[in-house]
Structure 1
Amino acid sequence: MAGVLHLHRARRTAGADHLRRRGRARGLRSEEIHLLPLMRRIRHHLTALIAGAAALAGLACRQDETEVRRDLGFDEFVPAYNRHIANWLTEQNEATLRERERITAEIANAQGARLESLRIIAEGLDRDLEKWRFRSGLGDYFRFTTLDELPPDLVWEDGMDQPEIGDPAAKKGGVFRRFIPSFPPTIRPFGENANNSFRGEIYEAIELPLVNLHPETMGLIPGCAHRWAVSADGRTTYFRIDPEARYSDGVPVLARDFMVSAYIRISDHVVNPYSKQYFRENVAQFTVYDDRTLSISLPEAKYLAPAVAGGIPPSPPHFYAEYGPDYNERYQWRFPPTTGAYEVREADIVKGASITQTRVKDWWARDRKYYRHRYNPDKIVHTVVRDESKAFELFRAGELDTFYLTRPDYWYEKSEMEPVYKGYIERVTFYNRYPKVPRGLYMNVSKPPLDNRDVRIGIQHAVNWRKVIDVMFRGDYQRLNAFNEGYVHFSDPSIRARPFSIPQARAAFAAAGFTEEGPDGILRRPDGTRLSLAVTYPATPVTDRMFAILREEARSCGFELRLDGLETTVAYKKGMQKQHELSLGSWLITPPMPDFHQFLHSTNAFDDKGNPRPQTNNTFVWGRPDTDRLSERLRTSRTIEELRDAAWQLQRIIHDEAFFSPGYSVDFVRLGSWRWVRWPDCPETRFCPPVIYDPHEVFVQWIDEDKKRETLEARRKGIGFPESTRVIDDYRIVGDETPESAEPGTPPEPTNPPR
């Protein structure tokens, strides 16, 4: 966890050619935030200059002040920000009260559906009022006090009841070699251009926040904190920092450093709107009791509150002593001391070519449970290889240690090669338990005729995802059934995607008024309106071929699917501007809980004038009081039962309203590794913990130097080893796929028939 770090890390898109070599752009999906500035910079108050010696003295004082004030600036920031938050809370409370009074007056005269809608709105406003009162009662946002104020009845936990991660047989040492498709524009953890695809490799996957989640059980495990406790109301988590917690330069981690982490991300020295909104709206208070004890309060109680509050990493104040308005330039290529196992040294940044991570000598957590069998290579070298086919050739030659083979062309064709036949490269199919990426068509319901439910249902029956799976992906992938599928407790297993069906598609289109067929075979309304919509997608060889198939199948249903393939960034921006009709989307949401708020809440759909709100992830442009209430309830639920109830209802609404056409999913990773790269094979971990998207991100692999020498010597002599292609399905969850009709003319009944 990193960046602004909360339980649902900054969302990222999962590319159409998933798992090829995943870019870990944790924030590609968090540009939805458009915010007000948080505070003015602290003003420097200087007396007016006067003539003569007084003027020179004043100038000298000003120069001295500039030199003195070239420090972190945290102490000056705290009181100013505390005042800002107090004023903001007052404004929010007053605005909510006014809106509550208006809704109360409207309720008195409302009836039927409008009355129910207003009651839902009133319920949300009452919850907001309680939240503002709670936060105002806490006092300062950044607060310093003593241990005497710790509640005496806290029940402290340490998370030591979870299984080990990794393999005790793992060896330290060696160099692990990977490729990256481009060189990052900066290695800063935040600020301008920091939200790039490489950031996760050196920050999110490495640094330790206060607590972490176990990548198999999703239980809480220690990070920088070795103990934690939750208040009776579930809103405040108390943390005791591990006495041995150190940065990579040996400086101890202190409680104040977590406040500093917030400060450097929300001050006006950086343009970081998502962080500013996150800390303002999702953290109610930081309290430091002593150097090793702090608490973080949330505005509302949450399930797994310690993970939500404790996902914030510390920031070393001594490193940021020169923090100021020129932060972006000054810190552009400076890697901060880390709490994690790997650092990036200045000499290991070869601009445009490579970046090397080096394991921290005497890393403080090297012998801690959950970390002692991980982070094994001495170095991890990331070499820039812009062309994927060239990267594969480097892998084939033994210049790269692993390569993703998930795409069928790599698995069935390209990896059928001598290094595999001779056992130098080992192939594995690993079934994970990661929630399924909601990959499919996102329908903009603000664009007619997509505001008509029957049209949307017809489109679902007219999009032949099964043919895409069978033709392009050799039948290896699965049909996705629902939005946010694959969360063990929080996904409704009864929901099934509507199958491709010409009769059912045409019946739904007819119910929407498209009753006539034009000379080109496309349906139209009596007024001449054609059933024609554009689908926006990032143009790649894979997606171009996929949509060529979908277009032809849709035409057989009387639906014209116009292809709007664009450069990836352009396609993304078009969706963020809500200028699309249909768009291909795939968002990666971090477990253990699904997230619906950013995709369904009306605040992310419309602005104050009722226009589609740009730069949010609600690309459905969907807003309704019941989905608002449920998505808010999901955010504030404290039990599995409450979460499941809200999540299942939201999944059912998405299915019934048919504004998301579920595409395909992949529940496995296929990976090629040179045989000197070893993966766990022990009772605690079979190859890799299961709740992962990329096996590399938990760092359980290691380099066996003896096997490397043996393999290289055998290759020189032309000697082979037994071929190794394994399937590891210990963690696989087997479920029924959507029943698809064998004959288009005799389709099964849809889950939700057209009306």
Structure 2
Amino acid sequence: MNLHFLLSAALAFLSVTAHAAHGLSLGQPLQYAADFQAFRYVNPNAPKGGTFTLPAAGSFDTLNPFTLKGDHEVGITMLTLDTLLEKSWDEPFAMYGLLAQDVRVAADGLSVTFTLNPKATFHNGDPVLAKDVAASFRTLTADPAAAPMYKFYWGDVSKVETPSPRTVVFRFKQRNSELPLILGELPVFSHKSYPQDLAAAANTLPIGSGPYRFAKAESGRLSEYRRDPHYWAQNLPTRKGRYNFDTVRFRYYKDDSVRIEGIKGGRYDFMQENVARNWERAYPDSALHKRHLSKHEWAHRNTAGMQGFVMNTRKPPFDNILVRRAMVESFDFETVNSRLFYGSYRRSNSFFTNSTLAAAGKPQGAELALLNTLKPQLPPQVFDEKVPEPPQTNPASGVRPNLLKARALLEQAGYRYHQGILKDKNGKPLTFEFLSPSKTYERVTAKWQRDLAKLGIKMTVRIADPAVYQKRMNGFDFDMTITVYANSNSPGNEQAVYFGCEAAKTDGSRNWAGVCNPAVEKLLKRFEHFNSRAELETAARALDRVIRHQYIIVPNWYADTFRVVYRDNLGIPARMPLYYYPTEWALSSGWRKARP
């Protein structure tokens, strides 16, 4: 996944890698040489020790992180399972050896071979062998109880071979430029973990080889991990200076007010705040200083993707594109941003917001040439009009002009306004439910509810318990909800999970909107193999344009900084990575320092 450089150099590198290499890169030469000692965004001499406590939303009822069913504990995969390769956060998409001491891509691009590090051991003392890698892959992609995202993510793998105890070969159905790298993200667990299947071990921990061991859980309210002092990889370049806390603890909360009061009460050592109002008003300096806490804003260069209110096109009323367009027109971002968010956000406008992958204006050049190959399957607007941008609210006239546009679209769709209610030709009122996993969006939807009521539309807001919410999402049992299409600067197989026909009919997939379109299916193939960075950008812009013309989402907002609160005895490396998520970086690269 989840970049600014020509891909041709990387492909040349990959094809040359008929010999073993210490890493792979997509888009540029590797930044770290074979003899590098540690990543530049860590402190290789960071001391070990201390406890690091984090908030975690919801609850959990299973310790098996791979099943579709259940509420999963958040730390197991990240802390107890190693992957074949480790991602560099200083590069758009580059992976370096972890369980695999080297990697080799075939000259024809149709296979990748990983050679495992002979020092790698599981927590039960067994060596990590090729049979474990193969068993992990097959469990995640073929077990009916596994979450379906794995099957889609590595869908171009035709078979796995283990020609020797520490050599594993993945063979591909076709050339896929990113597949050798994303296979490096495979979480590896012992073949002894699930001897029958996942369903028979619904609450069973996998046997991992990671830096931490699971220590305890308390009724879905707390989970705790202890650092393994004998961790096999602690001196590898990809692990040096990382995972320094002796104990990592997650405290779960179901109400956001509990999280806010928890940080002010000193229950957590680190917290990311995503709500602008909370950032401005909920954390007075005096309360934080009593607990040796302070607020910080960290810059980043991550692609923002798309956050928004996604509409389920599988069912009415959102199976009608005119209704979806009216929803987009009716949302008053500018007023919400100024009144509720203190003007701190920018509007999301693309599924690749804040990147060179976003479509703009009318199609031209290589993008137009690509779209022309799909012209019979695309509406004329894709070629004749500029790519849709979210509407703006003029402070002088307010949202009224946008609501008038929305009303015209609804009338075009066959709805009529009568005595305060908008009805279709059969007299059925236009109503829908907004499904939310928390109370966070109540203030936003309250303003929108009033504006929709002016059109005669009734929107009800249903706040569901996290377990209920996830169950309904897995079964696509919703009209509209809040979600994030997370993207990197190197989009790939995950686009099929978001927009592919197979994903649209697979419970638990991330094709929340139900997109299934012949032109989109052909565009998705462009992410499987490309010969240059320019080709990837062209495919991304074309896909972005086509999906935006389908109006499946009411765009929300994004920020180009992370807002975090943490203790003054948390050590943070002097240099920050370019592409990262703050909680993961602090947990993996921070350390406990002595107060003066």
TM-score (norm 1): 0.63
Counterpart mapping for 1:564-713 below 5 A? 564-568=461-465, 569-570=467-468, 573-574=471-472, 576-578=474-476, 580-588=478-486, 592-593=490-491, 595-605=494-504, 616-637=509-530, 639-681=532-574, 685-686=575-576, 690-692=579-581, 694-696=583-585, 699-704=588-593, 706-707=594-595, 710=596
Match of 1:467 in 2: 335
Structure 2 match to 1:157: 21
SS at match of 1:369: coil
Match among 171, 182, 199 for residue 47 of structure 2: 171
Match in the other structure for 1:339: 209
Q: How far does residue 652 in structure 1 lie from its aligned partner after superposition?
A: 0.6
Tell me the secondary structure at the aligned position of residue 148 of structure 2: helix
Tell me the CA shift for residue 518 of structure 1: 3.9
AA aligned opposite 1:165: Y
3-state DSSP class of the match of 1:428? strand
1:259 deviation in Å? 1.5
Structure 2 Cα separation of the partners of residues 461 and 275 of structure 1: 32
Give, in angstroms, the shift of residue 411 of structure 1.
2.1
Q: Report the CA distance shift for 1:652/1:328 in structure 2 as closer, same or farther (over 3 A).
A: same
Offset at residue 440 of structure 1 (A):
1.7
* Aligned pairs (5 A) from 1:143-542: 154-159=18-23, 161-162=31-32, 163-168=39-44, 170-181=46-57, 184-191=60-67, 193=69, 196-199=71-74, 201-217=75-91, 218-265=93-140, 271-272=145-146, 274=148, 277=151, 281-317=155-191, 319-320=192-193, 323-324=195-196, 328=200, 332=203, 334=205, 336=207, 338-345=208-215, 348-351=216-219, 354-385=222-253, 388-421=256-289, 424-447=292-315, 450-486=318-354, 488-492=355-359, 496-500=389-393, 502-503=400-401, 505-507=403-405, 509-510=407-408, 513-514=411-412, 518=417, 520=419, 527=425, 532-538=430-436, 540-542=438-440
Please give the alpha-carbon distance, in whole angstroms, between the structure 1 residues aligned to 2:429 and 2:479: 12
Shift in CA distance, 267/599, structure 1 to aligned 2, threshold 3 Å: closer
Question: Greater CA deviation, 613-622 or 671-680?
Answer: 613-622
Deviation sequence 1:194-252 (CA, Å, 0-9, x none): x63424x1213552211122123121211211211211221211112223222234432
CA deviation after TM superposition for structure 1 residue 357, in Å: 1.3
**1:464 is matched by which residue type in structure 2?**
D
SS at structure 1 position matched to 2:162 = strand
For residue 567 of structure 2, what is the amino acid of its counterpart? Answer: W
Instruction: Give the structure with the larger strand fraction.
Output: 2
Distance 1:605 1:311, change over 3 A: closer
**629 and 266 in structure 1: CA distance in 2 versus 1, 3 angstrom threshold:** closer
**What is the distance in 1 between the residues matched to 2:262 and 2:17?**
59
Q: Secondary structure at the match of 2:435?
A: strand
Structure 1 CA distance, aligned partners of 2:153 and 2:317?
39
Contact 1:190 1:265 in 2 (8 A): yes
Report if the CA contact (8 A) 2:61-2:220 is conserved.
no
Q: Which amino acid aligns with 1:210?
A: L
Equivalent pairs counted in the alignment come to: 537
Residue 183 of structure 1 deviates from its aligned partner by 5.2
Query: What CA distance in whole angstroms lies between the structure 1 residues aligned with 2:120 and 2:428?
Result: 65
Matched-pair contact (CA < 8 Å) for 1:460–1:658: yes
Deviation at 1:371, TM superposition (A): 1.6
Deviation at 1:696, TM superposition (A): 4.5
Q: Unaligned stretches of 5+ in structure 1?
A: 1-6, 9-150, 607-612, 711-755
Q: Deviations over 1:461-510 (max 9, x none)?
A: 21112222222222112211122424x45333666323345435534643
Amino acid across the alignment from 1:584: I
> Counterparts of 1:424 and 1:620 in 2: how far apart (Å)?
44
Q: Counterpart of 2:297 in 1: which secondary structure?
A: strand
Equivalent pair of 1:483/1:651 in contact (CA under 8 Å): yes
User: SS in structure 2 opposite 1:671?
Assistant: strand
Q: Determine the C-alpha separation between the residues in 2 that align with 1:653 and 1:539.
A: 29
Evaluate the alpha carbon distance shift between residue 432 and residue 559 of structure 1 in structure 2; reply closer, same or farther with a 3 A threshold: farther
Q: 1:746 aligns to what?
A: none
| Superimposed CA distance per residue, residues 120-161 of structure 1 (whole angstroms, 9 cap, x where no aligned partner) | xxxxxxxxxxxxxxxxxxxxxxxxxxxxxxx99813321373
User: 1:653, CA displacement in angstroms?
Assistant: 1.3
1:549 pairs with 2:442:
no
Instruction: Tell me, yes or no, if the aligned pair for 1:179 and 1:383 is still in contact at 8 Å.
Output: yes
- Please provide the CA RMSD for this pair: 3.6
- Label 1:467 to 1:702 Cα distance change in 2 as closer, same or farther (>3 A): same
* Equivalent AA in structure 2 for residue 286 of structure 1: V
**Aligned partners of 2:319, 2:205: CA distance in 1, in Å?**
50
Distance 1:442 1:404, change over 3 A: closer
Render the CA deviation track for 1:339-381: whole Å, top value 9, x for unaligned. 2211124xx4455554321111232221222321211111212
Task: Give, in whole Å, the separation in 1 of the partners of 2:213 and 2:279.
Answer: 34
Conserved 8 A contact 2:241-2:589: yes
Contact 1:483 1:660 (C-alpha < 8 Å) held by counterparts: no
Q: Which amino acid aligns with 1:400?
A: Y
Q: C-alpha displacement at 1:549, in angstroms? A: 0.6
Structure 1 pair 591/361, CA: closer, same or farther in 2 (3 Å)?
farther
1:694 alignment partner, SS class: helix
Which string of whole-angstrom CA distances, capped at 9 and with x for unpartnered residues, describes residues 7-54 of structure 1? 67xxxxxxxxxxxxxxxxxxxxxxxxxxxxxxxxxxxxxxxxxxxxxx
Query: Cα distance 1:182–1:638, how it changes in 2: closer, same or farther (>3 A)?
Result: same
Give yes or no for the alignment of 1:563 onto 2:460.
Answer: yes
Residue 272 (structure 1) shift: 3.1
Work out whether residues 544 and 565 of structure 1, in 8 Å CA contact, stay in contact via their aligned partners in 2: no
Counterparts of 1:353 and 1:593, CA distance in 2: 36
Give the counterpart letter for 1:296 in structure 2. F
CA contact (8 A) 2:299 2:560 kept: yes
Instruction: Work out whether residues 565 and 571 of structure 1, in 8 Å CA contact, stay in contact via their aligned partners in 2.
Output: no
Report if aligned partners of 1:441, 1:660 keep a CA contact under 8 Å in 2. yes
The answer for unaligned runs of 5 or more in structure 2 is 3-14, 24-29, 33-38, 362-386, 394-398
Aligned to 1:240, the other structure's residue is in SS state strand
